[in-house]
Copies of this chain bind each other. A is one copy, B any other.
Amino acid sequence: MSPPLTRAALAALDAADPLAAFRNRFTLPPGVIYMDGNSLGALPNATPARVAEVVATEWGQGLIGSWNHHGWIDLASRVGEKIGRLIGAPAGCTVVADSTSLNVFKALAAALELRPGRRVILSQRGNFPTDLYMAQGLIRHLGGRHELRLVEPEEIPAALDDTVAVLLLTHVDYLTGRLHDMAAITRAAHAAGVLTVWDLAHSAGAVPVDLAAAKADFAVGCGYKFLNGGPGAPAFFFAAPHLHAHMRLPLTGWLGHAAPFDFDGAWRPAAGIAQAIVGTPPILSLCALEVGVDIALEAPMAQVRKKSLRQTALLAELVGQECAGHGFRLVTPRAEPERGSQVSLAHPHAYPIMQALIAAGVTGDFRTPDILRFGITPLYLGYAELWDAVRILRGIMQAGTWRETRFHARQAVT
């Protein structure tokens, strides 16, 4: 048994942290320990000036000419290409487009068409709701000939049979933080003739992803979590190179056309991944996303992963050490290969406890039915903050502060 953790030991890790300087690249409010970067990432210092430039100069002065002169017309591809580097995508396979939900729809629709004899979309019970909702909407829309089949994670390999067209999985589970073995599962899927759609919402910028090595078919993901792209930042879409010439996407907008400004009567897909762009992208939000992505590209992923694993392990250990007997149960896997960049704790009173934590300056979030969720963003979260957060949690549990009525009023949170 190792000696108890101390604040001094954690502060020493901060002092030796090779990523420590990244903290100064972000603005965070004073008095807040921010552990909700898996819901909304923090603001990069460089973002306000970049957004102000886009608004005042590119839009205000350049007006319509900025589509050419400031490269707006290529922005979805340019930022997509950068995200591709974070997720191990070959060049020319990733674009920024729409929302994660809409990109799930595109990928699933394309996959079903590539496997015409098969009628099942396989996914995980408890997958992020919008992924399942989009699959449900698609199936209904296609006349109900397909089926969404949900299984537990450990049942996936056995469920991969020749009725399954496509496997839709979230790489890191939003609720538990469990990380799937993308390469192994994709291999098993392919062995059964099944295509894969990986949702990287909680992976991009947070854990190593190598889509090329895993031979992933489709992937989608989110710009506003670990990429620090800002609220509602547009999402990304990836398709493996060998699919570009064969896939048919259902959402055929003018900016996915081979020649958008020819104003042809008939839609023809742009070569490569650009066919996944639909309408005009929200340029202000897209420029903000680029700032966050640029920072993520500067941070060596091996260091990010090392710190993330250490911080998630330490947080779990600290809760065990400081909050023993208060009824918390660790939900996130202890095994490193199975852990994303978050720690989830189950507790029967998770909601008011999280509200009390937030009021005390520790921002995590609640997820129904009983989960306290703490996102770990190594670029701006320090080791000593983990100590402080857990001591605040301990204080709340000891004093019973969470029982106050004001912490029980439910609010929408995202």
A-to-B contact residues, CB < 8 Å: 27-29, 32, 34, 36, 39-40, 42-43, 47-48, 51-52, 55-56, 58-68, 72-73, 98-102, 105, 109, 125, 129-130, 132-134, 136-138, 140-143, 150, 224, 230-235, 248-255, 257, 260-267, 278-286, 288, 358, 363, 365, 367-368, 411-414
Task: Check B283–A232 contact: CB distance below 8 A.
Answer: yes
Task: Check B72–A130 contact: CB distance below 8 A.
Answer: no
Q: A72-B231, A133-B253 are in contact. List 7 more A-B contacts (CB 8 A).
A: A28-B63, A43-B59, A58-B231, A59-B230, A125-B265, A143-B143, A284-B285
Cα-based distance from A224 to B281 in the complex (angstroms): 11
Cα-based distance from A56 to B51 in the complex (angstroms): 10
Could you list 24 examples of A-B contacts with CB < 8 Å?
Answer: A28-B63, A29-B60, A29-B61, A29-B62, A29-B63, A42-B63, A51-B51, A55-B230, A63-B363, A64-B365, A64-B413, A65-B363, A68-B412, A73-B414, A101-B251, A134-B253, A137-B250, A141-B250, A231-B280, A232-B280, A232-B283, A282-B282, A284-B284, A284-B288
Cα-based distance from A264 to B279 in the complex (angstroms): 30
Contacts A265-B132, A285-B284 given: A279-B48 contact, CB under 8 Å?
no
Query: Max chain B CB contacts within 10 Å: which of A63, A249, A266?
Result: A63
Task: Check A133–B254 contact: CB distance below 8 A.
Answer: yes
Task: Check A102–B109 contact: CB distance below 8 A.
Answer: no
Chain B residue contacts of A249, Cβ below 8 A:
137
Task: Check B140–A64 contact: CB distance below 8 A.
Answer: no
